[in-house]
Amino acid sequence: MSSSALPRISDDARRARLGSRHLLASAHRAAAVEDVADALVGLHATDAATVYLSACARLVEPDPAEVERGLYDDVTLIKLLSMRRTIFAVSTEVAPCVEFSTARGIARRERAGLLKALGEAWDERRLAEAEEAALAALAARGEATTAELAKDVPALQEKITTSPGKPYESRQSVGSRVLRLLASDGHVRRSRPRGSWTSSLYSWAPAPRIPELPEQEARAELVRRWLASYGPSTEADLKWWTGWSLRDTRAALADTGAVGVRLDRGPGVALPDDLEPVEPAGDWAALLPGLDPTAMGWRERDWYLDPEHVPFLFDRAGNIGPTVWWNGRIVGGWAQRANGEIVWRALADPGRDAAAAVEAEAGRLAAWLGDVRVTPRFRTPLERELVR
């Protein structure tokens, strides 16, 4: 089939899908945090606060307690080191396809990297002994921080040098790397933080078993879910989002039954039942946090982000900061000042109706945050300027 004969999906049609599929239009918000995570495939969790801010932006009744229920009480959300070697919080329903399509491969590379960093003083046998001792200590305690487990297992107190000779050379405890490895292998999970929900000082707990899924089947299921949430899109976007090779990306697309489409900016892919126009979700505004899954869902972002605005909203490593959205486009950024005030700035005039809707969302955000103060882990130029 020639490219001109392929179904055409416009940028407007792609943006129309965001309000409903990403639960950003008020009529499409969810009641449960698991529904939010599944709508986005997973919630970015590198920054502890992002999970809460992303979820509450999409909940009918935004409440950190609802997120904590899923993460720590019911454990229906699990944090996995997965796509692009990033931590995602995924539901127990989605966990098998993430674990066996992506996370296990990363765990193997993590193990090889740790053994290399440990040097001659450690071998596979000593590492295995340290892992077994750490798991036994964790079982005895129920929950524990890395520092607490290191008191029980002296080997975890040793130090290693990472990136020797580089400007970013650092000293790390063996314990932090071993627990990270145990988490990658599915033995332990990140549990409730010590302090508020914005804290990155968390405990470890035994992890629930994730049902096994054949790798090929897991990859196809992950692609199906991604296309249902983020498609129609491009092969390059999927390759970037998963962190897979081009060969694995194409094989998974074929297994999914994805079909070719014409996007405004070139060839794309879509699920075969996602070719018809969708009903717009109506006008909607959203204030999304840094690293939000919607903002970070694609590598090619021109259809929802003006390239001239990138220097204001991203740090030098490519991490996006807090963003303001109007009807499927990023129109500005926001920040929280020390007094709790939510401030925002438009990078292009979105119009009077948009400004009023953004103000309403800023008030909604400030109301549920209350006395909590949130500083993004990755600071961006506009966010820093807004808090001055």
Q: Cα torsion at 20, 23, 26, 30 (round to 10°)?
A: 120
* pLDDT at residue number 121: 81
Residues of the chain with pLDDT under 50: 1
Q: Are 261 and 9 in contact (CB under 8 A)?
A: yes
**Residues 140, 153: contact at Cβ < 8 Å?**
no
CA 382: distance to chain centroid?
A: 22
Provide Rg for the chain, Cα atoms: 22
* Residues 215, 42: Cα–Cα separation, whole Å: 19
Distance CA 385, CA 322 (A): 12
pLDDT for 317: 93
Instruction: Please report the pLDDT score of residue 200 as a whole number.
Output: 86
Q: Do residues 174 and 155 lie in contact, with contact meaning Cβ atoms separated by under 8 Å?
A: yes
